[in-house]
Amino acid sequence: MISIKNKQRAIPIDRTRLLKQAKLILAALKYSDFELNIVITTEKDIAVYNEKFRNKKGPTDVLSFPYHETKAGKRIIAEPDEQILGDLIIAPAYVARNTKELPGSFEDHMRLMLVHGVLHLLGYDHIKDADYKVMRRKELALEKALKAARI
């Protein structure tokens, strides 16, 4: 199950599209049977989470809170009642501001935040260059699948 909660009103969010994207991402990663929770929130709210859980001041684009501790590429094995990937928090106002500085549309950047966040839930990271390359390849493959599906 995928749940989406929109706690902000400043930027319109196409929940149907977001749900379709999330379903395709989970299917491509072979986690369709896992739960994913997505919260769309304000920069003010995400800044609180960013400071509380990452000790970083200010807002960010996406935060991932995995339910399971895992390593990139390693399959999560869970009992049916624990088939939960985790929670994503996305701040569309922050994403929109960054869209002005980078190529691509707002929708492109929101899609990337969804992909990026899900990969973090699965243990992918980008702290080291080698890990960044692995994660980026996975992001590109998932983005390509989403574009091919036209969602």
pLDDT by residue (tens digit) across 62-109? Answer: 999 999 999 999 999 999 999 999 999 999 999 999 888 888 899 999
**Mean pLDDT, the chain, whole residue set:** 96
Strand pairing report for 62-66 and 84-90: antiparallel
Tally of domains in the chain: 1
Tell me the C-alpha distance between 102 and 99, whole Å. 5
Q: What is the pTM of this model?
A: 0.95
Here the tokens at position 69 are: 């501790």
Other CB atoms closer than 10 Å to residue 97's CB: what's the count?
Answer: 13
The percent of the chain in helix, strand and coil, each rounded to the nearest 5, is 50, 15, 35
**Domain span at residue 78?**
2-148
Q: The domain spanning residue 35 has which CATH number?
A: 3.40.390.30
User: What is the signed CA dihedral for 34, 14, 93, 127, rounded to 10 degrees?
Assistant: 30
Other CB atoms closer than 10 Å to residue 44's CB: what's the count?
Answer: 11
